[in-house]
Structure 1
Amino acid sequence: MGPIGALSPAPNTYKYNRYMKGDVTTPLVVNFKLLKGHVNAEEAVAPESDIILDSVKHERIYMTEKVTRIPIREGRLRGTLFIPEGEGPFPGVIDLFGVAGGLLEYRSAQLASRGVASLTLAYFAFEDLPKKMKEIDLSYFEEGVDFLLSHPKIKKSGIGAIGVSKGADIANGMGAFLPKVKAVVSVNGLGVNILCPMKYKDLVIPELLFDISKVKILGPDLLGVRDTFYDSDDYPETQLPLHKSEAKYLFLCAKEDGNYKTDFEVDKAVARMKANGKTDYEVIKYDGAGHLLEPPYAPFSLATYHRVASSAVAWGGNSKDHTEAQVDSWRRIVEFLRDI
């Protein structure tokens, strides 16, 4: 792999990867071919049969055959519910993603295949939802919690929430303000609110602002944004009151997160929790991992297009350590959510 700048030779090189946008009802098929000698990129895309020494097909299945997939269009809710095979009752979780927007189903499908009922919710840039993320209204996600608890196959003891990036910030907010949320998995999320205001009823938490002058140009159409956000200690009004939550928390932090200083901000959030007597949390940090910690064996994305930045953003990490972190974190996620 060459230097980061070499990865972006032209505008719009970085797209959302196929793994993120794929149809979970259809397996993802990857063909590997071993070619003879040294070939250029054009020859490698469509190699002649006489230089193919061997080949193998890898098929990725997102959900088991008897998982039930149910599109949800209930009131304001826009999402998809995945119910595991069997009579239940099953632990239930709300599944959230970040600034890519839309409706991403692959993690929920895989959770349901492992015995956790999962409702993945869109909250902007999908069907009749707002096209842009201008405000996070936690009452929308509270409707999702109540909807999930009303399902006859869901345990009534409470709901979990899992999110990555901005979705993790929302999940943290759900744990802080929604008493029916009993477990939160924060995947490279913060203990503060960023990018847009977050509200619940009459309370509004402003967003932590960022300094655009600290954006780094890493290559053509490629930005580094890790150091752009202001210090949350200077803006306590943006901090989420996690210490008031009755939910248990699992923080998964990539130490080379290119999006923001996740591990430092989580340390601050945990210090506030500890100072206020809250102890039911766990923090796991991964050396060499980047921002997009996905379920295991997903492609490592060094950089992809970022909707807010309107450019490609470097996510950080390296492929070996990041891949190992995905395997370990997924095991922890499944065990944590099964215990709701």
Structure 2
Amino acid sequence: MSSQIRVRLLPNARCLYDEPVQVKVAGLRPKQVVTMRARSTDEKGVVFSSSATYRADESGEIDLDRDPSLGGSYVGVEPMGLLWSMRPETPHRCFIKDKALQPLEVTFSVHKEEGEGQMLAEATNERLLMGDGVSRVPVKEGSFQGVLFTPPGDGPFPAVLDLCSFMTERRACLLANKGFVVLAVPVYNQKIGTFKEIHLDRFEEAKDFLQRQPKVGSKGIGVVSRSKGGDIALSLAAFVPGVEAVVWINGCSANVGFPLFYKSHQILSPLLFDHNKVICTESGATIIKYSVNNPLAEENKGSLIPVEQAEGRLLFVASEDDLNWDSKGYVDEMVERLKRHGKENFESVCYPKAGHLLESPYGPHCTSSLNGIVDLTVLWGGESKAHSAAEVHLWKKIQEFFRTHLSCDAAQTKAKFRYKQVDRKVTTNAD
């Protein structure tokens, strides 16, 4: 490496996962053409990488906030392009970063364009999921288990239940950084093959636990969800009091997969898949979008969630290139039904070229991976540039939505501190 050439990460080489970083190179020859690369390893040991060609200016500098990529993983001015365009060295793998305590490390490097691409300089970006002062407490109470994230300070803070299909801490702790008390709870808390039914009571228990937290000031809770978590979130809003705001991301308007029970009674029948309608592609991944049965068919109407019963605010988020199922169609159907019932407690946002897996921003866009529910490698959809722009927009939208619709009561929070009772059933083993 040349001592004169250096890669700078601004404003700091250490930042939160959902924050952009400015990548600059100095010390090159005027107009020198080089390759910029990014490389990271996920929690499963899979290596992800990207590369792009850049030309230095007259001063021998490159600024990814200003300069266009001439080719490679993307083209044009894309300040965070090296991150969202990273791809796995092993095909059909999704970038796994689920544990909050370990930061993600991304190495940015600059290489000679000619020959074997000798590395000229590098710098490591440490991307944190948990900000300073945020607490993380694993929780097991009654029939549910999850992880509770609490911001620093006395509050009052709004409360959000994060319903993830399978356990992940990423979105929950990032929201806690923004001033929310967040409880992450998986929909599937055991192997899929062992499920025969799902009980809404488990998630109501989680909601009640969250509302009892001493720093929580909101009278009700918010719920953020995606995919299978979406229909659980809508069911909570329709059947369980105290749900003030729901963010539904690329879910279904019906109860998918398993019968849904509440108070020992089945309240919704399952919407099932027709595996004969799975489409195989040359890549080895399948498209399962068209294999989901029509929830509006007469024989499936018992699976439709009565979203018109919801009293809280609803934010529907749909990706138009979702290849998992017809998210946009489900939103259109729910909006029409809500209007027919005279309801105005909803809003929707659609992203034309985004795919199913909308995540917090600046992670690699996953185009295909194993779908653990149907046990097939599937295409998720989305064009990487548009998908990543949607993630940035949506992340801000989610925070604004919850801040607007989850009102906080400081007096209520002080009372909780004063009269807090310790529940001996709760295990709080901080890692």
* TM superposition score normalised by structure 1: 0.88
Is residue 17 from structure 1 mapped to residue 17 from structure 2 by the alignment? Answer: no
Pairing of 1:37-52 with structure 2 (within 5 A): 37=113, 51-52=118-119
1 or 2, which has the higher helix percentage?
Answer: 1
Could you tell me which of 296, 302, 324 is aligned with 2:367?
A: 302
- Relative to 1, partners in 2 of residues 1:8 and 1:312: Cα closer, same or farther, differing over 3 Å? farther
Where does the alignment leave 5 or more consecutive residues of structure 2 unmatched? 1-72, 74-86, 407-431
**What letter is aligned with 1:69?**
R
Deviation, 1:38, is 6.7
1:173 is matched with which residue?
A: 235
Is residue 109 from structure 1 mapped to residue 164 from structure 2 by the alignment? Answer: no
> Helix, strand or coil for the counterpart of 1:56?
strand
> Helix, strand or coil for the counterpart of 2:290?
coil
Q: Aligned partners of 1:133, 1:159: CA distance in 2, in Å?
A: 27
Do the aligned residues in 2 keep the contact of 1:160 with 1:337 (CA within 8 Å)?
yes
2:216 is matched with which residue?
A: 154
Could you tell me which of 33, 42, 45 is aligned with 2:109?
A: 33
Where does the alignment leave 5 or more consecutive residues of structure 1 unmatched? 2-6, 44-49
1:327 is matched with which residue?
A: 392
Could you tell me which of 250, 257, 260 is aligned with 2:322?
A: 257
2:184 is matched with which residue?
A: 120
Is residue 215 from structure 1 mapped to residue 290 from structure 2 by the alignment? Answer: no
> Helix, strand or coil for the counterpart of 2:130?
coil
Q: Which moved more, 1:176-185 or 1:223-232?
A: 223-232
Is residue 203 from structure 1 mapped to residue 270 from structure 2 by the alignment? Answer: no
> Helix, strand or coil for the counterpart of 2:369?
strand
| Greater C-alpha radius of gyration | 2
> Helix, strand or coil for the counterpart of 2:126?
strand
Count matched residues: 318
Q: Aligned partners of 2:137, 2:91: CA distance in 1, in Å?
A: 34
Could you tell me which of 152, 156, 177 is aligned with 1:85?
A: 152
Q: Aligned partners of 1:14, 1:130: CA distance in 2, in Å?
A: 21
Q: Which moved more, 1:230-239 or 1:184-193?
A: 230-239
Pairwise CA RMSD: 2.2
Do the aligned residues in 2 keep the contact of 1:8 with 1:219 (CA within 8 Å)?
no
Do the aligned residues in 2 keep the contact of 1:254 with 1:262 (CA within 8 Å)?
yes
> Helix, strand or coil for the counterpart of 1:186?
strand
**What letter is aligned with 2:358?**
L
Q: Aligned partners of 1:243, 1:123: CA distance in 2, in Å?
A: 23
Do the aligned residues in 2 keep the contact of 1:8 with 1:221 (CA within 8 Å)?
no
Do the aligned residues in 1 keep the contact of 2:157 with 2:218 (CA within 8 Å)?
no
* TM superposition score normalised by structure 2: 0.70
1:47 is matched with which residue?
A: none
1:4 is matched with which residue?
A: none
- Relative to 1, partners in 2 of residues 1:143 and 1:34: Cα closer, same or farther, differing over 3 Å? same
Q: What are the superposed Cα offsets for residues 131-182 of structure 1, whole Å, 9 maximum, x if unpaired?
A: 6443221100000111011111112410111111101111111111111111
Q: What are the superposed Cα offsets for residues 205-229 of structure 1, whole Å, 9 maximum, x if unpaired?
A: 1111222221111135411111111
Q: Aligned partners of 2:193, 2:295: CA distance in 1, in Å?
A: 28
Q: Aligned partners of 2:92, 2:217: CA distance in 1, in Å?
A: 41
Q: Aligned partners of 1:254, 1:18: CA distance in 2, in Å?
A: 21
Q: Percent identity?
A: 35
Do the aligned residues in 2 keep the contact of 1:78 with 1:123 (CA within 8 Å)?
no
